[in-house]
Amino acid sequence: MTAPSSSASSGLPRPPRPTHGNPATAPAAPAQTGDERQLVRAVLAMGLGGFSIGTGEFVIMGLLPEVAQNLHVSIPQAGHLISAYALGVVVGAPMLAVLAAHWGRRTLLMALMALYALGNFASALAPDFAWLAGLRLVSGLPHGTYFGVAALVAAALARPHQRARAVGWVMLGLTSATLVGVPIAATLGAYFGWRAAFAFVGLVALAAVLLLLRWVPAIPAPQGASPLRELGALARKQVWLTLGIGAIGFGGMFSVFSYIKPTLIEVAGMPPAWVPLVLSLFGLGMVAGNLVGSRMADQALMPSVGKLLVWSMAVLALFVPAAQHPLSAALAVFALGTLVAIGPALQIRLMDVAGDAQTLAAALNHSAFNAANALGAWLGGLVIAAALGWTATAWVGVLLALGGLGMFAWALASERIQAD
């Protein structure tokens, strides 16, 4: 939510930069082209792919009742579709990053987006719930590697002190999807059936393939790239701790948002016609959080991670009383969206501690976030099924954010011991 940390990693030369990790172990700086227009075009192309992925990932959360009714399952059972997609990301990100380590960046981005289009078109044709669950898993496979490689490209093209912001600009495609793409797809789903939403996602993904071909520079794979070298990231303790922060600490947002539509209707008493507008507020919160979080990360990386985890706990705790009234619930949904602010910081942190295993580390960030997606949706479904109420998902989120804060403290303590 990332830059190559050596000229070999990016394929492009860059002057030295300050690092956010341990200076003794931090990798060398990646390359920068200095071409602002090239960066803007590449970000737009990669952002459209992110827009497609974000729409496909989040629209199902607003269509759970329709999918459940059409496929004859309960809403908590339909929530397993969210977990299936997230599992695809968790599995696909490391697998594809390692297998395609020697691919050129643009070629890999195009192939991943083509696979995403295919998965969503197939989802629109799924004959039953079991098929849809399997196809959602397949659709999730390219997600993490796509964003990881896109982050590497954006950071390689950006100035050294703007790496997190460049990554944040790419992620605007994902966050703006919740502001624009999800309401459009949800409206299509409401009027033409949920299958139309996935068909829309597939069409946007195909358009992204064309823009990637036209606007993203042909950056080759890093010199000496290989599956074995990429797997070296898994031997680094700080990589695992950073992934743990995301996998646990970010789960709270998904615990709540996975069941946001029935929560708004049943608890806040919100008219169903308001729900698409409130989903747009969530997207606006994501855009705001992404922009603020990336700036914070460029200024002070690890302190920003800690502050954003505390912010997550506060937002989730306040969601419980706020959900009792339509207007305060809408504001709480906006605040919930801001929790994505931690994404760019964790992406850059992974780049700083991954050495020359940049592709795998970048992709694993999204495995961690979708592990959080699966964990949050699953735990949220459990407390709902246990008749603890729709807002009990927020208390699950508070505990997950607290767990992420514990991982953050562990990472800091371990780094201090290593520095000594």
Within-domain flag for 1: no
Q: Which domain holds residue 340?
A: 30-419
Burial class (CB in 10 A: 0-12, 13-18, 19+), 299: exposed
- Mean pLDDT along residues 170-177: 86
For the stretch 310-338, pLDDT in tens is 999 999 999 999 999 999 999 999 999 99
Residue 16, exposed/middle/buried by CB under 10 A (0-12, 13-18, 19+)?
A: exposed
pLDDT of 152 over the 90 cut: no
Count how many domains the chain has.
Answer: 1
Q: Determine, yes or no, domain membership for 159.
A: yes
What is the pLDDT, as a whole number, of residue 182?
83
Give the per-residue pLDDT at 397: 95
Distance in angstroms (rounded) separating the CA atoms of residues 104 and 102: 7
Instruction: Decide if 7 is inside a domain.
Output: no
Q: What is the pLDDT of residue 277?
A: 84
Instruction: Tell me the average pLDDT across 296-305.
Output: 90
What CATH number does the domain containing 105 carry? Answer: 1.20.1250.20
Mean of the per-residue pLDDT values of the chain = 86
Indicate whether 24 belongs to any domain: no
Whether pTM > 0.95 for this model: the answer is no
The 10 Å CB-count burial string (b at 16+, else e) for 186-209 is: bebbbeeebbbbbbbbbebbbbbb
- Tens-digit pLDDT profile for residues 10-22: 343 343 344 444 4
- Taking alpha carbons only, the member of 3, 307, 302 closest to residue 169 is 3
Residue 366 lies in a domain: yes
3 is a domain residue = no
Domain assignment present for 4: no
Question: Mean pLDDT lowest for which of 25-34, 35-44, 160-169, 230-239?
Answer: 25-34
pLDDT at 420: 66
User: What is the model's pLDDT at position 179?
Assistant: 80
Query: Does some domain include residue 2?
Result: no
